[in-house]
Chain A
Amino acid sequence: MKKNLKFFIVLYLSKLSRIALKLIGRDATYFPGKLAVTLCPDFLGRIDKPKTIIGVTGTNGKTTVCNMIEDCLKENGYEFIDNHLGSNINSGLASTLIEGASLLGKQKKDLAVFEIDERSAVKIYPYVTPTYLVCTNLFRDSLKRNAHTEFISNILTNNIPKETKLILNGDDLIVSNLATNNERVYFGIDRLETDSDKCENIVRDITVCPKCDTKLEYDFVRYNHVGRAYCPKCDFASPKINYEITNINFDKMKMTIKNEEKEENYDIINNNIINIYNMLATITVLKEIGLTRTQINPVLKKQKIVDTRYSKEKVKNIEIITQLSKGMNPIACSRAFDYVRKEEGNKAVFVLLDDLHEAANSSENIAWQYDTDYEFLNSESIKQILTAGARYLDTYVRLQMADIPKEKIIYQRDEMSLVEKLNLEGIDKVFILHDLYSIDLKNQIKKKVEEKVLKNN
């Protein structure tokens, strides 16, 4: 697509808006791009792009994977542009490209790392061709926006450019079937002790063969539709994995990755399987662009999961753990519930998953709660569940639907006084599960829990 006069006018206006916003101390990561794609809808197609683009998409883990890729590249002296401060839709990419472009619309750097919203495929891929596109996983997400996985996988398959090399989660049967004509490599984790022969989750979005409708046979199920499966009637099956974790040593926090018969050891920073998948996706794409273990592992080893996503602190003899559990995202919340139940010791759990925006302006559609495995909280080791917020009455019903005894549940509208009801007797760990937009609330609750633990004898 050629640069025309309109393009240059829009580019200069956008650059000026960026300068103006910066001068008055405002965020300039969204508006310049929004202005550009509004005034010139094919702006993304006209502006120059870096020679190599690494895109990261998928339901969960995009931001984490992008952050790790960027840290590894930075530490190894690569120069690149990225949208980590801006949005992951077309206007966010446009803002990044505007910032990275000269007055002639040429990119100053040869490499880009873009987090790409999967729903925005229609507005991005006709104009931006990622050299590599990582897809972490595809699950049910906000039903209001993303509907269901068939809708999202169709959008991706219909829009991903044919030149893009895909880096796919081979354990996710929906992801591994994206854009089947594209060149691809798969990453995956071999069977773990914790894997099962049957699915424990409410949601499993691929149960029959997409080719012949025969019921799939699962070799093992990890969670939801993640696992390895095959069709007993035709040739459909989980793909052969190119980068496979063949062993995880949780005591030593090490993992072994096998690629083309060569095995390499890497450190893991957390025992949550989701984080291990994120690290594996990162390592796979970095190896594909030519980085070595010695360039990658020291950087990943130093990674810390940001406090807004996960934190762990020991106060006296009690661990206080905060865990992001995106509300309206049934799989993210189910994973968090699963993590809590599998942690050792007696636990008390704060469940604060209401969408604060919905609480202030509407009445949240709570259908997602019924796709979420609240049943995982029905565990002998979970002694108390404390929930508050606008949807406290709905959550109370949902917890009862999961057969959780009423006497274990504390529910009330006010969040802040919830900590007063926390019973620390015999408790080893206190979990605070919170929504993405409830960071302040999470911090306040955490502080109050710390105070209560310190006062507790």
Chain B
Amino acid sequence: MNKTIEILFPEFCNLYGDLSNMKYLQKCIPEANFIETSFNEEPIFVKGDVDLIYMGPMTEKMQEKVIRKLKPYKQRIEELIEKNVVFLITGNAIEIFGEYIENENGSRIEALGIFNIYAKRNMMKRHNSNFIGKYEDIEIVGFKSQFTQSYGNNEGNYFAKVEKGIGINPESLLEGLQKNNFIATYVIGPILILNPQFTKKILEKIGIKQQIAFEKDVQSAYDQRLKELKKI
């Protein structure tokens, strides 16, 4: 099978337990090659082939460093998106791929500019909400907990249509970004543990069709959460 999964900067991009997305994937496909790329290393996607690239939520200061780090590879990232390489980007890591991040004082941090969205920070107003959204035929469940909201046009490339909660901002019903196999979402959880059918879909995207780890148990937890979230 020889699948290669690259986890970007796990020593920093590790907030809210979201690295467990990859720990779970490891339980699902233990035979795959999981590579953790440290911040001071060159990502392996730059020169080599990978099947999935993961990056999770990080602090605001770190966002700026990650943008600087990935800027030289913008073209390569766009090329990989065009080549249908799977990206899973969670939490505020989505903002790295937008146009810019705006601070409360109006100053801006230019981001990679791959997608036509931008983020606005409000550090004294943290947004927390529950989420249900439709991705293809799957109802995705999860949570949002963030200082930022994103704006701009994701009508043509959103990840999920909101059924409960908010999209990329409180006025939007479209959550996240998707282009080919690039998926970025503010939804945390960790999303793969909370959404067994979505995890299967991600595995299918990298060419694996099989049972997932503790499938019956993660499915039961999913069913219970979906029921609860629909009731609120």
Residues on A lying within 8 angstroms of B by beta carbon are 122, 143-145, 147-148, 150-151, 202-203, 207-208, 213, 215, 330, 361-363, 365-372, 393-394, 396-397, 400-401
A394 touches B16 (CB 8 A): no
Given A202-B17, A367-B18, 6 further pairs, Cβ under 8 A:
A143-B15, A215-B40, A363-B228, A365-B130, A367-B188, A397-B218
With A215-B40, A393-B224 already in contact, the answer to whether A147 and B20 are too (CB < 8 A) is no
List, in ascending order, chain A residues with CB within 8 A of B130's CB.
Answer: 362-363, 365
Does B225 sit at the interface, judged by CB under 8 A? Answer: yes
The 8 listed contacts between A and B (C-beta, < 8 Å) are A144-B145, A147-B15, A203-B14, A207-B12, A330-B17, A367-B143, A367-B188, A397-B217
* CB of A211, distance to nearest CB on chain B (Å): 13
Residue of A nearest to B40 (CB): A215
B18 touches A150 (CB 8 A): no
List, in ascending order, chain A residues with CB within 8 A of B221's CB.
Answer: 393-394, 396-397
Per-position 1/0 for B170-185, Cβ under 8 A of A: 0000000000000000
List, in ascending order, chain B residues with CB within 8 A of A362's CB.
Answer: 130, 228, 232
Size class of the B contact interface (CB-based, 8 Å): 35 or more
Q: Bound state CA distance, A213 and B123, in angstroms?
A: 24
Q: Bound state CA distance, A271 and B166, in angstroms?
A: 47
* CB of B217, distance to nearest CB on chain A (Å): 5
B59 touches A371 (CB 8 A): no
List, in ascending order, chain B residues with CB within 8 A of A394's CB.
Answer: 221, 225
Query: Looking at chain A's contact residues, is the secondary structure mostly helix, strand, loop, or mixed?
Result: helix
Residues on B lying within 8 angstroms of A by beta carbon are 11-12, 14-20, 23-24, 27, 39-40, 59-61, 65, 123-124, 126, 128, 130, 143, 145, 147, 188-190, 193, 213-214, 217-218, 220-221, 224-225, 228-229, 232
B126 touches A147 (CB 8 A): yes
Q: Bound state CA distance, A228 and B23, in angstroms?
A: 29
A370 touches B60 (CB 8 A): no
* CB of B149, distance to nearest CB on chain A (Å): 15
B193 touches A401 (CB 8 A): yes
Q: Bound state CA distance, A361 and B232, in angstroms?
A: 7
Q: Bound state CA distance, A144 and B14, in angstroms?
A: 16
Residue of A nearest to B224 (CB): A393
Partner of A370, one of B18, B65, B128: B18
* CB of A121, distance to nearest CB on chain B (Å): 11
A150 touches B61 (CB 8 A): yes
Q: Bound state CA distance, A220 and B220, in angstroms?
A: 42
With A144-B128, A365-B145, A367-B190 already in contact, the answer to whether A401 and B217 are too (CB < 8 A) is no
List, in ascending order, chain B residues with CB within 8 A of A401's CB.
Answer: 20, 23-24, 27, 193
